[in-house]
């Protein structure tokens, strides 16, 4: 793009070069916006996770510990208004939990002994005792974060093809323009005329449409296959 823009300016067509640079910058901006949306989704999921939990020891003492210190089988106490720290199973208590952060269900769900509970859901009405069923790294929210991260890092087939084809197409255009310039000079054309014609080919065949098409599509549909993977 830069070479084409310089060539356009050299032959007295700076406007065409400016258009090429604008389209290239636009494609980069669209891709950055799409990636930023995925990053914000991960940050929002991270914000749902509580940082500490109340762990009950075998002697009945309750201590506040970091989520990373919890182990499968630990007994936790969850007070009203607190978030469930990790996935687990209720041992004692009967109350309602707001699971909208995980399931999207707007109405509180009643949970009693033996029921499964999920990390980041909110205990509304009663003191609950629960047993840790999964480490924090294997919780529901942790899996959601991994899915979003993997979807963000993954490249759709259209992206892979665009990158593969765009690289080869760009090389072909550059080589083709140089060959045309050489042939015209060999045929005896004036340097200015030969350069102008080679620059026209370079600008007209610039891969801006290929570069901008995929980022624009992903931005328009909400990150494309990344969103559908989530």
96 and 168 together in one domain: no
Beta-strand ranges (E) seen in 57-193 are 62-66, 75-78, 88-92, 95-98, 109-111, 116-117, 122-123, 128-132
| Structural domain includes residue 57 | no
DSSP letter (8 states) at residue 203? H
Q: Does 39 share its domain with 106?
A: no
- Kindly state whether residue 196 falls inside one of the protein's structural domains: yes
Last-in-domain residue among 134, 165, 180: 134
| 152 and 224 fall within a common domain | yes
Q: Each residue's pLDDT tens digit in the chain (230 positions)? A: 777 778 777 777 778 778 777 877 777 777 677 666 666 766 676 777 788 899 998 788 889 898 888 889 899 999 998 988 899 999 998 889 988 877 777 788 898 889 999 888 899 888 999 999 988 888 888 887 777 777 666 666 666 776 777 778 888 888 888 898 899 889 888 888 888 888 888 777 766 666 666 655 555 544 443 333 33
Q: Which residue range forms the structural domain that includes residue 85?
A: 71-134
Residue 84 φ/ψ, nearest 5 degrees? -65, 125
22/86 same-domain check: no
Residue 181 domain flag? yes
pTM: 0.52
Query: How many residues does this entry show for the chain?
Result: 230
Residue 139 lies inside a defined structural domain of this protein: no
Could you give the number of structural domains in the chain? 2
Last residue of a domain, one of 83, 103, 134: 134
Judge if 79 and 19 occupy the same domain.
Answer: no
Q: Report if residue 179 sits inside a domain.
A: yes
In the chain, what is the greatest distance between 2 CA atoms, to the nearest angstrom?
98
Q: Is residue 86 part of a domain?
A: yes
């Amino acid at each position: 793009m830069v070479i084409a823009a310089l060539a356009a300016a050299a032959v007295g067509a700076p406007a065409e070069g400016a258009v090429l640079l604008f389209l290239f910058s636009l494609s980069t901006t669209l891709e950055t916006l799409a990636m930023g949306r995925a990053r914000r989704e991960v940050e929002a999921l991270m914000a749902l996770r509580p940082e500490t939990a109340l762990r009950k020891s075998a002697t009945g003492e309750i201590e506040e510990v970091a989520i990373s210190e919890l182990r499968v089988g630990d007994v936790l106490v969850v007070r009203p208004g607190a978030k469930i720290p990790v996935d687990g199973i209720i041992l004692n208590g009967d109350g309602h939990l707001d699971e909208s952060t995980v399931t999207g269900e707007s109405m509180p769900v009643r949970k009693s002994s033996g029921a499964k509970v999920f990390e980041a859901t909110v205990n509304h009405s009663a003191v609950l005792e629960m047993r840790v069923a999964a480490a924090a790294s294997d919780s529901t929210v942790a899996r959601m974060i991994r899915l979003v991260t993997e979807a963000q890092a993954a490249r759709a087939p259209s992206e892979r093809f665009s990158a593969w084809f765009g690289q080869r197409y760009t090389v072909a255009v550059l080589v083709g323009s140089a060959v045309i310039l050489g042939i015209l000079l060999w045929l005896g054309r004036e340097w200015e005329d030969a350069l102008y014609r080679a620059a026209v080919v370079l600008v007209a065949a610039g891969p801006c449409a290929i570069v901008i098409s995929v980022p624009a599509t992903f931005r328009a549909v909400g990150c494309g296959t990344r969103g559908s993977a989530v």
